[in-house]
Amino acid sequence: MPHKIDDTRELHEDSLGESVLRHLIYSVGKDKAHADARDWNVALSLAVRDRMVEGWIDTTRRIYKNKQKRVYYLSMEFMIGRMLEDNLTNLGLLSEAKTFLKSQNLDVTTVINAEQDAALGNGGLGRLAACFMDSMATTGVAGMGYGIRYQHGIFRQAVEDGWQVEEPEDWLFAGNSWEFRRPEVVYEIGFGGHVTHDEDGKATWHPSESVQAVAFDMPIAGWEGDHVNTLRLWSARQSGMMNLDTFNDGDFMAAARQQVLAETISKVLYPGDHTPQGRELRLKQEVFFTSASLHDLLRRFFANYDNLDTLGDHVAVQLNDTHPAIAVPELIRILMDDHGYDFDHALKITRETLHYTNHTLLPEALEKWPRDLFEQILPRHLQIINMIDGAFYREAIEKGLDHHIIAGIQAIHPHQQDWVRMGNLAFIGSRKVNGVSALHTELMKQTVFHDLHTMYPDKIINQTNGVTPRRWLLECNPGLSDLVTEQIGDGWIDDLEQLKEIEPLATDADFQQRYMAVKAANKQRLADMVKTRTGVILNSDAIFDVQIKRIHEYKRQHMNILETIALYNAIKANPDGDWQPRVKIFAGKAAPSYFFAKLIIKLINDVAKVVNNDPDIGDKLKVVFLPNYNVSMAEILIPGADLSEQISTAGFEASGTGNMKFALNGALTIGTLDGANVEMLEHVDAENIFIFGMNADEVAERQHRRARPSEIIKTSPALQQVMTQIGDGTFSDGDTDRYRDFLSNVTEHDYFQVVPDFQSYWDMQRHLDALYGQSEKWAEKTILNTARMGWFSSDRTIRSYADQIWRAPHKTSGP
Ligand code: 26Y
């Protein structure tokens, strides 16, 4: 690396290989003869980490010296995946590492795969946070991520007899090579207790319990490694030492109990995404990491400035959904109770500093907490929320809003008093509020935040999501990366719009042939993984049709499996027909408490069993459910896909980011006009993306009318047959009970409108079958997708946040 700061200049002049060997002996404590893949992984990771530290210290000094505006990204979730290849790539060390591993007769993939995925998240929101960390470092934003160092990330999903079974995940069991424990960075986080006021009215909160938040840091290097930011994750620890009196009395269990209680706060990730969550422990987790992060960033602020008046000029805080929304009253509390600001001034500073991103409109995923629970755990914060509501009320009256409307948008409804509504609180306390795609932002204005938007018409803005091209093209698809680089150079890696330059090659026969050869190799890699994990052997001439994401009704995996059954029936009715072979691949986790989602997984597996073993079908159709979907699995699935399923009920998927990764890697999209699909359509053009079904307005209208699906089913013999088979036990060994709930859901209510969209979905699938047969046309569209997806780089997204929300400096793109 170009960077050598004075005091480390002489520290490692040795080659990467030499430092790996040194770490193998002195850090891992093994010799070559006894080292296994994980030992090599750790030794290599430590050698790479050494090389990140210089740029890290250098970046920290530079930001401090220039007083560069800092950006803090507060997120309950960071879905990072493996870090070794990412860091090797960004530091330009990948080929040196590969050469060295080969010289030791080691298989590179085996060594890289020995790292556990860091899966500290549920899905899209957490993965977005990870892409943003990479892009903030690449674009030179002085960014820092704050989250929780969960001891157990999202559960491991096993599939037993077709049903999802959750198993504990233990990513830290062999340690985490990337992290630095910072025992000196520790904050006391209080809960419960009461509040006193002195004669001047100054409040003091006396918590009845407290835990310590201890920092663990991971360096995050941007492309080319010279800007290195920090991801700081908090771990919970008992306050003070173990109670020695209890211990000496011989009651070790009682002493240990306190410790266990404190540590539960960072023990495990809550595995729900769009399900209602009302657990005290989750609220404590939110307070825990938000409060620790605010204290930490203020401590850093005071290294440069001596009062908080101008906080918002030097610091921008981004709240990743409402999970850290407690930051609003917590920052006001610190300003008032610790630094003597009056309420109005504290609110003003807070509203200059905080910003809130909304990721969902689903009512059940909007956080609210029982007021009583708040009062118990956070008595001072509740007082402050009431003050915020009071100030807000006065503002609203001044702006001419009516009482009823105001009551509906305050944090606490003044007459019902039962809930603290975190979305309203975050909105009121933030300077800017953003949605994550154009459509989603528009719907925010029209629906959940309608009245707040009327009151503050400039607050809501759009920031369409993006994905990092380093992980989601360069690393996961080396074949395509090399091909592209051969044609246009490697400038696209941090300036993805340069991919446009391959557009003229979309109709070039030679380029098409080479592009499709890369796709074929990626399909083979995917097929090998499927064979290893499920035993199913895939025909690589088939269309690889992939739907991977959390299992949820609004994402409509069930519409996909219904279409699969209809296709199975059609093939069976005419086995000698000229069928385009297809492989249906599904993967994704269901929230443990979400029965219907688990039933969808069971149905997929039941259908797979019948279809895959039917001799009439053979290679024409295969169905696969891959257990335990995670980031590393996505890195194999996405480059190997021909077709990407983005089929949510229009109006429900805020953005989607998998949709972008697939298209970038040359899969064609079958999808609805939902989330960022709408903007993908604008970028790739209507001939290159396959949109079907109702739009958001039509869906809303139909839901409003409570239109019943039965009329439509009657007119569709194919769909009727599918329903009959699911009910009569065709796929459930004669069990006519198993899918009773499923059938009544779809045929009676069908809230997510599978039935009215079914026919257009089916028609579009058959259109794609025919198109796949015209291989030159397919190749052209595939190449155009890659060429036109440059705008969806998260580097673009981050620069846009930096300009429009954070007002923070960054490197501009391009040469
Ligand atoms: C409150 C709790 C139960 C909760 C926990 C996690 C609620 C929601 C979530 C996660 C939401 C989420 O992942 N949303 C997704 O965010 C992505 C990034 O913006 C979007 O692309 C995707 O459409 C959206 O569903």
Query: Taking the CB of residue 237, how many other CB atoms lie within 10 A of it?
Result: 17
Query: Taking the CB of residue 344, how many other CB atoms lie within 10 A of it?
Result: 10
pLDDT in tens, 291-323: 999 999 999 999 999 999 999 999 999 999 999
Query: Taking the CB of residue 116, how many other CB atoms lie within 10 A of it?
Result: 21
State yes or no: is 549 an active-site residue.
yes
| 479 Cβ neighbours under 8 A, 6+ residues apart | 518, 521, 522, 639
pLDDT in tens, 478-525: 999 999 999 999 999 999 999 999 999 999 999 999 999 999 999 999
Rounded to the nearest angstrom, the distance between the alpha carbon of 360 and the centre of ligand 1 is: 6
At 12 the pLDDT is: 57
Rounded (10°) angle between helices 557-573 and 754-773: 60
Pocket test for ligand 1, best of 75, 274, 468, 797 (most atoms within 8 A of CB): 274
The one-character DSSP state at 640 is T
CA-CA-CA-CA torsion sign (630, 635, 641, 644): positive
Pocket test for ligand 1, best of 282, 359, 549 (most atoms within 8 A of CB): 359
Rounded (10°) angle between helices 509-534 and 775-788: 90
pLDDT in tens, 431-483: 999 999 999 999 999 999 999 999 999 999 999 999 999 999 999 999 999 99
Rounded (10°) angle between helices 775-788 and 677-684: 110
For 621, half-sphere exposure in the C-beta direction (CA atoms, 13 angstrom radius) is 25
Closest CA to ligand 1's atom 8? 273
What CA–CA distances, in Å, run from 354 to 406, 472, 511, 600, 613?
Answer: 22, 30, 48, 40, 56
| 508 Cβ neighbours under 8 A, 6+ residues apart | none
The one-character DSSP state at 121 is S
Query: Taking the CB of residue 703, how many other CB atoms lie within 10 A of it?
Result: 15
Query: pTM of the prediction?
Result: 0.97
In this structure, what token pair is assigned to residue 245?
A: 């009196």
Report the percentage of the chain scoring pLDDT > 90.
Answer: 93
For 323, half-sphere exposure in the C-beta direction (CA atoms, 13 angstrom radius) is 30
At 54 the pLDDT is: 92
Rounded to the nearest angstrom, the distance between the alpha carbon of 369 and the centre of ligand 1 is: 18
Q: Which residue's entry shows tokens 């934003």?
A: 141
pLDDT in tens, 37-85: 999 999 999 999 999 999 999 999 999 999 999 999 999 999 999 999 9
Kindly name the residue from 359, 470, 552, 620 that is annotated as catalytic.
359
The yes-or-no verdict on residue 278 having pLDDT over 90 is no
- State residue 204 phi and psi, 5-degree precision: -130, 130
State yes or no: is 550 an active-site residue.
yes
Going along the chain from its start, the domains and CATH numbers come out as 67-82+117-367+421-464+799-806 (3.40.50.2000), 533-784 (3.40.50.2000)
> Does 359 contact ligand 1 (Cβ within 6 A)?
yes
pLDDT in tens, 744-772: 999 999 999 999 999 999 999 999 999 99
In this structure, what token pair is assigned to residue 547?
A: 């739907």
In this structure, what token pair is assigned to residue 60?
A: 């920290």
pLDDT in tens, 105-135: 999 999 999 999 999 999 999 999 999 999 9
With beta carbons less than 8 A apart as the criterion, state whether 47 and 16 touch.
Answer: yes
Report the distance separating Cα 206 and Cα 195, nearest Å: 6
Among the ranges given (11-25, 248-262, 274-288), the one the predictor scored with the smallest mean pLDDT:
248-262
> Does 272 contact ligand 1 (Cβ within 6 A)?
yes
Rounded to the nearest angstrom, the distance between the alpha carbon of 656 and the centre of ligand 1 is: 9
In this structure, what token pair is assigned to residue 371?
A: 């007021």
| 520 Cβ neighbours under 8 A, 6+ residues apart | 540
Report the distance separating Cα 286 and Cα 378, nearest Å: 12
Average per-residue pLDDT in the chain? 96
> Does 565 contact ligand 1 (Cβ within 6 A)?
no
State yes or no: is 702 an active-site residue.
no
At 3 the pLDDT is: 45
At 259 the pLDDT is: 87
Quick one: pLDDT band at residue 4, thresholds 50, 70, 90?
Answer: very low
The yes-or-no verdict on residue 10 having pLDDT over 90 is no
Pocket test for ligand 1, best of 269, 285, 319, 321 (most atoms within 8 A of CB): 321
> How does strand 460-462 pair with strand 432-435?
parallel
Q: Which atom of ligand 1 is nearest to the CA of 654?
A: 23
State yes or no: is 657 an active-site residue.
yes
Quick one: pLDDT band at residue 242, thresholds 50, 70, 90?
Answer: low
> Does 564 contact ligand 1 (Cβ within 6 A)?
no
> Does 656 contact ligand 1 (Cβ within 6 A)?
yes
Closest CA to ligand 1's atom 9? 273
